[in-house]
Amino acid sequence: MTIDPPRKPRGLVIRGLVLLQPLDLVISALVVAFFLVSALISGGDIPRSIEGALLIMLVMFVVGAAIEVIIEALRDMPGLGTAVGFITNGPEALCLLVGLLTGDLIYAASTPLGSNFMNPLMLLAAGMASTALPAIFSRHRGFTVITLLSSGILAGGFFAIPESWYLGWLVVAAMVSGILFRVRPGDPAEPLTTGEAGLRRWHAIPATLLLVVAGYFLDPVVSLTAEASRAPKGLIGFVVLAALTSWPEFRSCLTLLRRRRPLSAVLNVTVSNLTNLWLAGVGVVVYLLTG
């Protein structure tokens, strides 16, 4: 299948890096509107709600800019999709650590495992936004579907089993994820851009740190804004929070698809889902050893 040449990016573009694009502004505006309407209906704190929504927009901007820098810095690296899949799981790893420090395994595992349901939706949304949806399933369709389904089933199953089954879940998750990771398709290095940004690979290190920190703060910022606006906890958790915590995966998929790397985008999400299982597995091991 041939892929159409990438369109000229729109938005805030600096030396070839799309730091802010129209879709970012649309989603940010919807976030602000959601919290503002909730505050008006529920009698919440309107100024704090607007302030919190603006902070969410700021964090989302930092996440998008960091991912642009990472992908540009690693543009010629073999296995780019796999590398980005690991990198975008930094916020989930930090949330897991915080949960383990509180002694609550369910809370610790909820962020990485919950992302396994949102990541496939982020991939589809990025495909539609970039008009590259057919290219996502043009190759390795079996691997993509099996990996996303199995990682989702294992993630959901964890919350449905009793504590006495945790060890069995750990064994099955390790075996399935290990096999799928080993048989993942190769992602050879291909030119992403003309390199006009002039970034080197070491630039990905500070950008990754920035991404992890920004992603970690996204959860508490959304929670504080939800409290100020008195938004329904079920709705904020299932729709807004779940979607925003998967924003790094969406932004990276969108960037890769825009640069004609559909296989890298698929590997980004599939490897991210497998990594989430490993993170939850680490949490289970720590819980069983210290419980």
Let me know: does 279 contact 97? Beta carbons within 8 Å: no
Model pLDDT for residues 188-237, shown as the tens digit of each residue: 665 554 445 567 888 889 988 988 888 778 777 877 887 888 876 555 65
**Confidence category of residue 151, pLDDT binned at 50, 70, 90:** very high
The whole-number pLDDT of residue 137 equals 85
Mean pLDDT of 171-192: 86
Looking at per-residue confidence, does 143 or 246 come out higher? 143
Model pLDDT for residues 234-262, shown as the tens digit of each residue: 556 545 655 666 777 888 898 888 888 89
Give pTM, 2 decimals. Answer: 0.78
d(CA 258, CA 250): 12
The whole-number pLDDT of residue 194 equals 45
For the chain, domain boundaries: 12-290
Residue 251: name the closest of 66, 33, 29, 7 by CA: 66
53-62, 157-166, 268-277: segment of lowest average pLDDT:
53-62
Most confident of 71-75, 147-151, 229-233: 147-151
> What percentage of the chain carries pLDDT values higher than 90?
26
Q: How far is CA 280 from CA 114, 168, 177, 249, in A?
A: 10, 13, 12, 18
Contacts of 221 (CB under 8 A, 6+ apart): 52, 55, 56, 59
Average pLDDT, the chain: 81
Residue 113: name the closest of 156, 78, 73 by CA: 156
Q: Which amino acid is at 280?
A: A
Is residue 148 predicted with pLDDT exceeding 90? yes
Let me know: does 97 contact 225? Beta carbons within 8 Å: no
Mean pLDDT of 119-136: 89
